Amino acid sequence: MTLQDLGNSNFENYIGASEGLSEMAYQMTSHVLTLGYAVMLAGLLYFVLTIKQVSQKYRMSNILSVVVMVSAFLLLYAQANNWTTSFEFDAERGRYFLADGEDLFNNGYRYLNWLIDVPMLLFQILFVVSLTKSKLSSVRNQFWFSGVMMIVTGYIGQFYEVSNLTLFLVWGAVSTIFFLHVLYLMKKVINEGKEGIPAKGQKILNNIWILFLISWMLYPGAYLMPYLGGVDGFLYNESGIVGRQMTYTIADVTSKVIYGVLLGNLAMFLSKEEGYKVTD
Ligand code: RET
C-alpha cells in the first residue's frame, strides 16, 4: 500500500500503514478508549442517583449530564470499536498494521459527539447560576452558535491533518475564533453567577472556571498532537497516537463528568441555602 492511498485520513492510519504499532502502543490506546466509555456509564449512574439531592429548580443540570453521558457512551464505544477493527496484528513482523478491507481509523466520532455535548454542557450551567446583567436567551443562542461552529470547522479541518497541512491549520484557526468566543461567554456567565451568592458557592464557581478552561484547552492540543513536536517531530509516530487518545480521554472525563459533579455540588449547596431538605 502506498501512503497516497490513504487520502484525507487521520495520521494514525499513515503510521499504521508504514511503521506499524508496537503491542504497547496498540493496547494502551485500546485500553484508554475503553476506559473512556466505561467512565461515561459510571457517570450516568451517578447523575441519575443524585438527582433528588437537589431541589426541583436545579434538576435540569442532572438531566443534561445524563444526556451527555448517554451520547458520549455510545459514540466513544463506536470510536473504540473503530480502533480495534482498523488495525490487526501481523505475527511475522510482531506489530500491528492497518487492516486490509476495514474502515480506516478516524477521530470524527468524537467530533459528532461534541456536537451534542458541547451545547448541552454550555446550557447546563445556565440552569444553576443566575445571570445578573446578560439576557439568558442571548447567551444561550451565542453558546449554541459558537459551540457548533467551533466543532464543525474543526471537524472539516481534521480530515486534512496529513493531506493538506495549510487547510488543517486554517480550519483549526477558524475554529479557535469560535472557541475564544465560547470562553469569553463562559467567563461572563461565571462572573455574573458569583454575584450575590455565599463565598462557598463562589469558590465552587472559581473551580468550575479553572476546570473548564484547562479541560477544554486539551481538545485543540489533541487536534495538533501529531505536530506538537514539530513537523515530522517526536510526536509524529505511535507516541503521538497514544498521547492523543489519552488527552481526549482525560479531557472527556474532566469536561463532562467532573464538570457535571461540580455543578451538582453547587446546585446541592444552593438548594440547601434555599431551604431544600433531601427526603427519602
Ligand atoms: C477543535 C479544532 C481545533 C481548534 C479548536 C478545537 C476545539 C475543540 C473543543 C472541544 C470541546 C469539546 C468538549 C466536548 C465534551 O463533550 C475543534 C479541536 C479550538 C474546545 C468539551
Which residue ranges make up each domain of the chain? 11-274
For residue 5, the CA-to-ligand 1 centroid distance in Å is: 28
Contact call for residues 235 and 228 (beta carbons, < 8 A): yes
Q: What is the pTM of this model?
A: 0.96
pLDDT of residue 5: 78
Residue 220 Cβ inside 6 Å of ligand 1? The answer reads yes
Contacts of residue 279, Cβ cutoff 8 Å, sequence gap at least 6: 52
pLDDT of residue 263: 98
Residue 151 Cβ inside 6 Å of ligand 1? The answer reads yes
Contacts of residue 142, Cβ cutoff 8 Å, sequence gap at least 6: 181, 185
For residue 69, the CA-to-ligand 1 centroid distance in Å is: 17
Give the tens place of pLDDT for each residue, 232-248. 999 999 999 999 999 99
CA-nearest residue for atom 20, ligand 1, is 216
Among 35, 98, 28, 65, which Cα is nearest to 258's? 65
pLDDT of residue 3: 52
For residue 124, the CA-to-ligand 1 centroid distance in Å is: 17
d(CA 280, CA 217): 40
Among 31, 45, 26, 46, which Cα is nearest to 76's? 31
For residue 223, the CA-to-ligand 1 centroid distance in Å is: 8
pLDDT of residue 101: 87
Among 57, 105, 98, 112, which Cα is nearest to 266's? 57
d(CA 69, CA 81): 18
pLDDT of residue 78: 96
| Residue ranges, the chain, pLDDT below 50 | 1
Does domain 11-274 sit in CATH 1.20.1070.10?
Answer: yes
pLDDT of residue 2: 52
What pairing do the DSSP bridges indicate for beta strands 95-98 and 87-90? antiparallel
What is the position in ligand 1's atom list of the atom closest to the CA of 157?
2
pLDDT of residue 279: 81
pLDDT of residue 168: 98
C-alpha cell at 93: 513482523
